[in-house]
Amino acid sequence: MSQLLEAFRLAQLPDAAEAFRAEVRDFLATNLAPAAPAVRARTWMGFDAAFSRRLAQRGWVGITLPAAYGGAGLDAFRRFVLVEEMLAAGAPVAAHWIADRQSGPLINKFGTEVQKDFYLPRICRGEAFFCIGMSEPNAGSDLASVRTRAARVDGGWRLTGRKIWTTNAQRSHYMIALVRTSGAPEDRHGGLSQLIVDLSLPGIQVRPIVDLTGDAHFSEVTFDDVFLQDDALIGDEGSGWMQVNAELAFERSGPERLYSSVVLLDTWLQSLRKSGFTPADAVLLGGFTTQLATLRSLSIAVTTKLARGESPVVEAALVKDIGTEFEQAIPAAIEAAVAADPARGVEVDADLHRTIAYLSQISPTFSLRGGTREILRGMIARGLGLR
């Protein structure tokens, strides 16, 4: 236990990153259209290609990618600030989210020069949106059990199988899919590779899945004998498991694992300022603030490791597990606080109730996306030497 805890060294955002915060706020003040809290609460599930392209024109899509490929060449700390400010404002970031956070850095690290020259400038211009194909039917987020298979053929690959719970596949241009290129599911981590799949190819069917809120940001994707060129393979054949784990450290440790309910928290705070605080409200708000400050420090500690080129997979799993538990607790706690004094709640505003309703319905997914709680706790247990 002590070894894992020692990995979280208290770190601060550098002065340059804090100075960057003012630029981001100026951009959002100019480019983010006013929206109701229930709309802003969708933030990193909110898909707005036009907003993403304005962000790209400012140079902030592919913010950590090299300038040679059109990126801003900035560090992970400034990306942390950019993400933190956009989520706090409720900006609709879903269109470029996966490409900026994972696909671009993955291609930059493991891709060939041809792949970098093709994909990275398009990502940085906001012209190439990506999704990630990991979870599968009957396997969930147990990625070592994937059954989607790519077989070597003359000139490329033949891809067959299904992915599910793929975020925004119906709106993306490309998927980076984890597939089996050799062996069997019983081989677990062996025989897995990553392929870049053009989602416009024949043989691909994308079926959106409507959730409880009426939104459809998840999809099921079916591959029916899809032909991919040789250069679809990214990295080395059979190295997919190692590459995915490096990618997941980016996915599981950022502010998005803490801030999914922050628009509701802010909306409730504004309502309390109008209607007045009860002692119970103050205790609850103080608890949220304390937890958020602590979790933010943990997230910055992991960002510091990523900036040093490390791959803090276990630390990132811990941040996601605790962070999503916090995000899920906020809607239920605020709903209970409002319900404790229903007369005052009616007076507050309808926006607050709509935002509570949205997040109460969607928050159970917070601990599913990016790896379920069971998967994460298994990783943490292994990191502690308990498995």
Catalytic positions are 251
Q: Which of 387, 321, 380 is nearest to 4 (CA)?
A: 380
How many other C-beta atoms are found inside a 10 Å radius of the C-beta of residue 234?
A: 23
Cβ(284)–Cβ(54) below 8 Å: no
How many other C-beta atoms are found inside a 10 Å radius of the C-beta of residue 207?
A: 14
Cβ(46)–Cβ(266) below 8 Å: no
Cβ(226)–Cβ(202) below 8 Å: yes
Burial class (CB in 10 A: 0-12, 13-18, 19+), 308: exposed
What sign does the dihedral 227-229-95-57 (CA atoms) show?
A: negative
The gap from C-alpha 338 to its chain's centroid, in whole angstroms, comes to 30
Return the DSSP state at 129. Answer: -
Q: What share of the chain is helix, strand, coil (3-state, %, to 5)?
A: 55, 15, 30
Structure tokens that stand for 214 in this block: 């009426």
Distances (CA, A) of 135 to 60, 88, 179, 338, 372: 29, 29, 10, 37, 11
Report the greatest alpha carbon distance in the chain. Answer: 71
Helix axes 313-339, 350-362, angle to 10 degrees: 140
β pairing state of 156-167 and 192-198: unpaired
